[in-house]
Amino acid sequence: MKPNKKKKFDIGLFFTENIEKIILILVIPVAIYIAYLGTQYEPLTWQPDALVKAADNANNTIKTSERKAVDEGVSIITYDVKATWIKAKIRSEYYRTETQWLPSLFPEKTKRSAVNVFTVKDLKAQAGLGAVSVNPSSPLLAGRAAESGTTTGGSTSISSRLGERWAIVTGLIPIKEQLNLYVDKFSSSVLPDALRDMPMYILYDVERAEVVPGRGSGELEWQRLDFLTEFLQKRSLWSGNAVDPVDPTFFAPQVPGKFPMAYPLPPVTKKFSEEVAHPPFIPMLTDSQMEELKQTEKIREQLRKEMFDIKPEDILDNPFGGSESRIGATGSGSMDGSTVQGRNRRIRRNAQEPEEEEIKPVQVNNYLFRFLDFNVVPGKTYRYRVRLYLANPNYRLAPNYLEDETLSKEPYLITEFSAPSNMVTIPLESRVLTTNVFAADTKQPWLEPAASIMAVHFDLADGSEWYVEKERVYRGSTINYKRQDVTNPLLEKQTTGSDMEGSISPPSGRTARRTPPSPSRRTTEPKTTEPKTTGKQLDIVSEVSVLDMKGGEPLYKVPSAAQKAPDLRSPGRVMVLEPSGNMIIRTVNTDLVEAETIKNPTAVNALGSGGMGGYRGIEEN
């Protein structure tokens, strides 16, 4: 009998038969470990009432908290502004093809049709005030003097000037775009006419809206301005007009007896600047060009005198100024656009060759639109919009020349109103200039930083400027001073005559220069010199509040007191709150130059009889 063979160990069979036991052996330690970890945490102490209370507190916090869109990283889309873009017309030249498919050798003549007219673009507004030279014999001057409580029989500087405040509105008249449209419409018509088929601007409407805080741009109340009546009154009061510093090539041709598109400038006592132009599209004249223009100013003044009897109905009833249209000259009315786009300026080549002239073309894409509003209230904020009147090229033509006989009834074409201008705030009589900033001393932290200011008052009765200087003004101060001894440099010069014309009066305790001087050290009180006063006292009320100031810190540390090194300080800046609610950063670098100009106004050269008087106001976006 054979012995039993020993059965071999089968590991696979082992796991198959004992898999439940193996899993149980592995799970039990894991469960014990998890149970052990559970004993390490603190037991929950929350009660249902506490959970309800916490939820209510979180809900109240969400409801009462004021989170702005900027805090959440959300950008606000100004739909009210973007909605105005729908008024912009689609420019067809971007979609034209230069390829002509089967062009006709002899284009068929078409009847004259209606034409679209384009309004003013890029309307801008700035405000200012200044002294205007007036005619002493004007009857309006006596009434103005009676209202202000002054007489016209005083000194020449007072009786021959008046203070005015204004808002200047400028824009671009798209003459090139308008002319191209006229060429497309009328060059191949059955009756082309060189006079009629040229864009002719005869009048414009100006509407003004006062900006009220809390109201949107869609809630503006627009009011039409009667600027023609106001202009005729001003012309009888002024002693003439200022020489316009804008290149006359960019002026729309003025029809005799019609109102110009660029409002004539008043004869103010200082220079006008770029606020009367529209750079970079419409630049100002250079000094040499201004000298040439002065020679022709007498001729232009004669043309301005014809505007005394202007009436709106006369302009609109006869848009072509009484000129006879060349109706029968069908062959002389061809238009190539060169008449207006290439208005030429003739320049002498040499003084020895007076007969030879060189023609220098000047490309004109836009005419200047300019309007001056003198009927403004200080402290208020305005916006403007305008529309243009163009002579109707189809006015009083025979019906057989027109697609529609109704096209000949209206003497003029009216554009749509332009997009509103920026907001502009009319300045008050008093303003504040920053002339220095003193930084706080780190060794004496109880001393706050301070600023030196010049408070300037503009007298509307005679256009004079009076000022008072304060060496120390601190944060939180409001620049309102009662019964101040003020200074007028013009009266001082007339009395003493010690200063030379063109010199710059040095600021008190400092050497006169155009760049702001380094402020004195905070620990040392600056030396002051009492300015000469004229014995007049005024209330200077600017309603300007000083919020904060920065600057005046030393840029480096001087190694030794014996070492001679310049005391360089950081430029000073002062944050002020204007009465209009705008926060403005005033810099010493800019204000000090204007302050020195006020102290010596005779150093400012005038353009003929005109120039910018006072200062420009705030331009807001």
C-alpha–C-alpha distance, residues 603 and 512, integer Å: 14
Q: Which two tokens stand for residue 186?
A: 């009328």
Question: How big is the CA angle at 110 (ends 105 and 116), to the nearest 5 degrees?
Answer: 120
List the structure tokens of 616: 């420009």
Is the CA virtual torsion 126, 127, 133, 136 positive or negative?
Answer: positive
Whole-angstrom distance, CA of residue 232 vs CA of residue 307: 8
Of 495 and 41, the structure prediction assigns the larger pLDDT to 41
Among the listed residues 1, 22, 2, the one whose alpha carbon sits nearest the alpha carbon of residue 11: 22
* Residue 204's pLDDT band (cuts 50, 70, 90): very high
* pLDDT, tens digit (0-9, with 9 covering 90-100), for 357-388: 444 566 889 999 999 999 999 888 999 999 99
- Cβ neighbors of 589 (< 8 A, separation 6 or more) are 515, 516, 571
Cβ pair 209, 222 in contact under 8 A: yes
pLDDT band at 319 (very low <50, low <70, confident <90, very high): low
Residue 314 neighbours by CB under 8 Å, 6+ apart: 257
Element (H, E) at 141: helix 139-148
- CA–CA distance, 607 with 610 (Å, rounded to integer): 5
Report pLDDT digits (tens) over 72-81. 777 888 888 8
Parallel, antiparallel or unpaired: strands 381-391 and 424-425: antiparallel
What is the pLDDT averaged over residues 598-614? 50
53-62, 178-187, 524-533: least confident range? 524-533
- Is the model's pLDDT at 82 over the cut of 90? no
Query: How many Å apart are CA 573 and CA 548, to the nearest integer?
Result: 9
Token representation of residue 120:
């003013």
Q: What are phi and psi of 61, to 5 degrees?
A: -65, -40
Q: 489 versus 449: which is more confidently predicted? A: 449
| Stronger pLDDT, 89 or 182, i.e. the higher one | 182
Instruction: Quote the Cα angle for 41-43-44, to 5°.
Output: 120
| Cis peptide bond upstream of 354, omega within 30 | no
Q: Return the pLDDT at 123.
A: 95
Total Cβ atoms within 10 A of residue 531: 17
Given CA atoms 506, 512, 514, 515 in this order, what sign does their dihedral have?
A: negative
Edge to edge, the sheet with strand 430-438 lists: 430-438, 450-458, 465-473
Are 457 and 538 in contact by the 8 Å Cβ rule? The answer is yes
pLDDT at 327 over 50: no
Highest mean predicted confidence (pLDDT) among 98-107, 218-227, 538-547: 218-227
Q: What's the whole-number mean pLDDT along residues 144-148?
A: 55
Give the pLDDT band of residue 391 (cuts 50, 70, 90).
very high
Judge contact between 537 and 571, C-beta under 8 A: no
pLDDT tens digit sequence for 254-291: 877 788 999 999 998 877 888 899 988 998 887 667 77
Q: What is the mean pLDDT of residues 327-332?
A: 35
Amino acid at 385: R
603 pLDDT more than 90: no
> What confidence tier does 195 reach under pLDDT thresholds 50, 70, 90?
confident
Reported as half-sphere exposure (CB side, CA atoms, 13 A), residue 174 has a value of 17
Distances (CA, A) of 620 to 97, 207, 427, 572: 42, 18, 13, 24
Closest CA relative to residue 134, chosen from 32, 277, 266: 266
Nearest to 543 by CA among 587, 583, 578: 578
How many residues are there in the chain? Answer: 621
Residue 26: predicted pLDDT: 87
Q: Tell me what the mean pLDDT of segment 174-183 comes to.
A: 94
Gyration radius of the chain's alpha carbons: 38
Is the pTM value of this prediction over 0.85? Answer: no
Q: Phi first, then psi: what are they for 404, rounded to 5°?
A: -135, 125
Q: Is 575 helix (H, G, I), strand (E, B) or coil?
A: strand
